[in-house]
Amino acid sequence: MPEGPETRRAADRLARVLVATGPLEIRLLYPKIAEWREPLLASPVREVTSRGKALLIRFENRLTFYSHSQLYGRWTVGRRDRQENSRRSLRAEFLTRTHAARLWSATEVRVLLPGAEETDPFLSRLGPDVLDRGSTPVLLQRQLESHTRKSAAHMMLDQSVFAGLGNYLRSEILFEAGVHPDDRPADLGAEVLQTWSRAIRRVTRRAYREAGVTVPGDVARNARAAGEPRRTWRHWVFCRNGAACRVCDQEIQRRRYGGRRLDFCPNCQPRHRR
């Protein structure tokens, strides 16, 4: 499932082709939204953005085209005359004079009426989007301090706490913060919470800038030069279970929480207890 950085990057790609010129043609192949073609086509696109893992195309008439990719959904942007060879199901197509923005296979697609974002069953429950400018380390630390009894492993995937975080970001953030997956904010001092909140912001923004890479550039270059595959050279610990930690050489371990994998270094992320 695309996480916050991937969704925001997709929104950026759509914005570059839809906001300046606007779609000349819209095809809505998903029956649940087919009736909205004319109202959307009649209005310019004001902006394309994301909230957590939801992508939002906002129109000047205050309608919003909402999509959530879930496991299989995907947005593509390309030249209008290029044929897309995909086994995915086409849900929607926004065509400009030169480009096509296409939504594939998503099952969470709907059009929101003016003001409905604030009351939408999904959007209204989201915590702060870590990629937003207003999501400062101070705000993120307050979120940690408001959920003192939740373990780090579960909190990092709770969209009502931090919108946009997912599985690979969870492992990478906790590693950079030095926080054990079973730690709770209640177990940690103010200094560790501050380090944790800064890591949430830093790692997520790095993944946004670098297309999913969560390690600094020199670490990624050295890992690639050493012959690591793409799934591992991009990360500190995620998908590196059984390999040596890049910092201390101890073996990376894997645990499952709620059926989802989490990779961590037991030496760099010791369990904190008060």
Domain map of the chain by residue range? 4-124, 137-264
pLDDT at 185: 96
pTM for the model: 0.94
Q: Which residue type, as a one-letter code, is found at position 29? A: L
Average pLDDT over residues 54-59: 97
Q: Which residue type, as a one-letter code, is found at position 123? A: L
Domain 137-264 has CATH 3.90.1150.10: no
Average pLDDT over residues 5-12: 97
| Domain covering 4-124, topology | N-terminal domain of MutM-like DNA repair proteins (3.20.190)
pLDDT at 258: 87
26: Cα separation from own chain's centroid: 26
CB count in 10 Å sphere of residue 118: 8
The catalytic residue positions are: 2-3, 53, 260
Nearest alpha carbon to residue 24 among 74, 99, 76:
99
Angle 191-194-198 from CA coordinates, rounded to 5°: 145
pLDDT digits (tens, 9 = 90+) for 195-211: 999 999 999 999 999 99
Share above pLDDT 70 across residues of the chain, in percent, rounded to a whole number: 99
Please indicate whether the domains covering 4-124 and 137-264 agree at the CATH topology level: no
Compute the distance between CA of residue 48 and CA of residue 40 in angstroms, rounded to an integer.
Answer: 14
